[in-house]
């Protein structure tokens, strides 16, 4: 594999290693900083652990009550008033088809796209990126495909790790930083991101007209005459999205077909703009109707909560106890999906990922929520069918450097952890929490964690417990494009 370069999204403050400053990572198997840093316990610690019998713990009433609050909820997710087609079977099936369809995406920008199996195609090629390219259905809808399996490479490198879509319909706000307040406006963000689809709402609407007219109209009614070149500039796939232009101050993106492009979209009259946005919003609502069905399912832990004593080993039961008691994990990883859905600063000092990318001052929710509050496509806007009322009134100090607590359901397929993807194993994550996060100085905001003083066996027990949160995942019929 050739040496990879990575680039931050425009506007992100990322540090690119200067040529020669970072060791070239020639294979995914090469040890990385995080793997080496995984803590070795003291001999005393290990000796004391080894002497302990491998027995299940005695639970207090309180611990059992706390654990019961983590029982999987197999009922439907909360109603989404912003999406009128969320329960419509035809919309769900249409959205599922589009989830696996690359034809809404523009050209690949990043030169690391060399056509190899870890990439989605060759730089310059259009039509290569689908949602499933990063949210890989066979891997619990996380990205096990991109080079290095940390951040994702589609048109460009993303600046954060791809989260799972399992159970996502239960999240109050979306993305690691709360940047979107509905599953459908999140999908539009993907289409208009130069790093992901590198497309835009005009091109998406045109492609729906060209390729999916009948299926769209069966759900949403007649499409406008999007083949009318007078009103709707006819972008070809290789004209969609952005291209990189060299300028004296570095590469700059020049884009077509989305608001603020100063080009094809901005040049349309207000009515044509609204018609295009309406089609793209509808398409995104169909995608959201599909995504809403993606569930992890009940795990061995839930069978144990229901009374099957054999469902968890002694170590997994000790891990369950630690999770709600001494480990204090359930203070944030609470409720049926083991997440409070809120934003927390856990003091993660970003490390280099995917060879050359370090996002040193990712402000997380402080920036994401501010953007969501300004988003014309938020659920209190004209294109929403109702307000989800999840956005805070304002951004506050505790959002600084804070990221949404991830679900721990169906965690086993994740190839890396945290919003950066810098930790490679669950055991490294537990060691991170055990030391109370990283010392201040290298991340924005104030770390909420305290060191835990867990023994080596405690840490192994927590890892074992989290591995027992695996469910069957969505039905096979939801893991491929519909027939």
Binding-residue pattern over the window 280 to 299 for ligand HEC, x denoting contact by CB under 6 A: -------x---x--------
| Dihedral over alpha carbons 62, 345, 33, 408 (to 10 degrees) | 40
Contact 150, 422 (CB under 8 A): yes
Distant-in-sequence, close-in-space partners of 452: CB < 8 Å, separation ≥ 6? 326, 327, 328, 433, 434, 435, 436
Choose one: 31-39, 85-93, 270-278, 405-413; the region binding ligand HEC (CB under 6 A): 405-413
Does 152 contact ligand HEC by CB under 6 A? Answer: yes
Q: What are phi and psi of 136, to 5 degrees?
A: -75, 115
Q: Tell me the CA distances in angstroms from 324 to 65, 68, 344, one per residue in order.
A: 10, 10, 18
Confirm or reject binding of residue 147 to ligand HEC (CB under 6 A). no
Can you tell me whether residue 15 is helix, strand or coil?
Answer: strand
* Smallest distance from ligand HEC to CB 231, Å: 26
- Answer for which of 295, 344, 383, 424 binds ligand HEC (CB under 6 A) is 344
Does 448 engage in binding with ligand HEC (CB under 6 A)?
Answer: yes
Contact 245, 254 (CB under 8 A): yes
Do the beta carbons of residue 454 and residue 392 sit within 8 Å?
no
Binding ligand HEC (rule: CB under 6 A), the pick from 34, 91, 165, 243 is 165
Angle at 71 between CA 399 and CA 462, to 5 degrees: 70
Site residues for ligand HEC, 229-248, by CB under 6 A, read none
Pairing of strands 241-247, 343-344: unpaired
CB of 143 to ligand HEC, least distance (A): 6
Quick one: which segment of 61-69, 75-83, 162-170, 373-381 binds ligand HEC (CB under 6 A)? 162-170
Specify the stretch interacting with ligand HEC by CB under 6 A; choose among 17-25, 72-80, 216-224, 428-436: 428-436
Interface with ligand HEC, residue 154, by CB under 6 A: yes
Out of 126, 276, 286, 346, point to the residue binding ligand HEC (CB under 6 A): 346
Listed ranges 26-34, 156-164, 209-217, 219-227: which one lies at the site for ligand HEC (CB under 6 A): 156-164
Contact of 418 with 429, CB cutoff 8 Å: yes
CA distances from 417 to 82, 408, 425, 429, 460 (A): 31, 11, 7, 7, 17
Interface with ligand HEC, residue 212, by CB under 6 A: no
Q: For residue 384, give every residue at least 6 positions away whose Cβ sits within 8 Å of its Cβ, in sequence order, or none.
A: 82, 182, 185, 377, 378
Q: In the complex, which residues of this chain contact ligand HEC (CB under 6 A)?
A: 129, 131, 133-135, 152, 154, 158, 160, 162-163, 165, 168, 171, 174-177, 183, 186-187, 190, 196, 287, 291, 327-329, 331-333, 344, 346, 348, 403, 405-406, 408, 414, 417-419, 426, 429-430, 433, 448-449, 462, 466
């Amino acid at each position: 594999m050739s040496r990879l370069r990575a680039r931050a999204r425009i506007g992100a403050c990322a540090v690119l290693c200067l040529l020669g400053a970072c060791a070239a990572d020639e294979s995914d198997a090469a040890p990385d900083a995080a793997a080496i840093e995984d803590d070795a316990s003291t001999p005393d610690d290990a000796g004391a652990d080894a002497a302990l019998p491998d027995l299940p713990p005695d639970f207090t009433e309180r611990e059992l009550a706390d654990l019961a609050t983590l029982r999987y909820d197999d009922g439907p997710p909360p109603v989404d008033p912003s999406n009128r087609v969320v329960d419509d079977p035809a919309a769900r099936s249409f959205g599922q088809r589009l989830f696996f369809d690359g034809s809404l995406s523009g050209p690949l920008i990043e030169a690391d796209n060399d056509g190899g199996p870890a990439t989605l195609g060759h730089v310059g090629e259009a039509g290569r990126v689908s949602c499933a390219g990063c949210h890989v259905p066979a891997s619990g809808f996380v990205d096990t495909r991109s080079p290095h399996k940390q951040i994702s490479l589609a048109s460009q490198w993303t600046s954060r790790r791809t989260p799972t879509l399992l159970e996502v319909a239960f999240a109050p706000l979306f993305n690691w930083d709360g940047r979107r307040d509905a599953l459908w406006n999140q999908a539009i963000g993907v289409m208009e991101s130069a790093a992901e689809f590198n497309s835009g709402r005009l091109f998406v609407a045109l492609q729906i007209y060209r390729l999916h007219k009948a299926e769209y109209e069966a759900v949403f009614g007649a499409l406008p005459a999007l083949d009318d070149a007078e009103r709707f500039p006819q972008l070809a796939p290789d004209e969609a999205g952005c291209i990189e232009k060299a300028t004296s101050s570095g590469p700059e993106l020049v884009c077509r077909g989305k608001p603020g492009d100063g080009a094809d979209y901005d040049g349309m009259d207000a009515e044509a703009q609204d018609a295009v946005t309406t089609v793209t919003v509808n398409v995104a609502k169909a995608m959201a109707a599909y995504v809403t069905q993606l569930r992890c399912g009940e795990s061995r832990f839930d069978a144990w909560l229901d009374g099957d004593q054999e469902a968890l080993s002694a170590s997994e039961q000790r891990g369950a106890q630690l999770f709600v008691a001494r480990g204090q994990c359930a203070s944030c990883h609470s409720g049926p999906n083991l997440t409070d859905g809120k934003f927390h600063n856990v003091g993660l000092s970003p490390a280099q990922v995917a060879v050359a990318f370090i996002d040193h001052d990712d402000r997380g929710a402080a920036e994401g929520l501010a953007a969501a509050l300004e988003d014309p496509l938020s659920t209190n806007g004209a294109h929403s069918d109702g307000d989800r009322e999840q956005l805070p009134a304002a951004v506050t100090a505790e959002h600084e450097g804070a990221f949404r607590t991830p679900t721990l359901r169906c965690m086993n397929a994740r190839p890396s952890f945290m919003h950066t993807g810098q930790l490679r194993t669950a055991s490294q994550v537990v060691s991170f929490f055990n030391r109370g996060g990283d010392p201040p100085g290298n991340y924005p905001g104030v770390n909420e964690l305290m060191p835990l003083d867990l023994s080596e066996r405690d840490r192994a027990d927590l890892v074992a417990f989290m591995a027992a949160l695996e469910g069957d995942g969505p039905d096979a019929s939801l893991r491929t494009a519909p027939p």
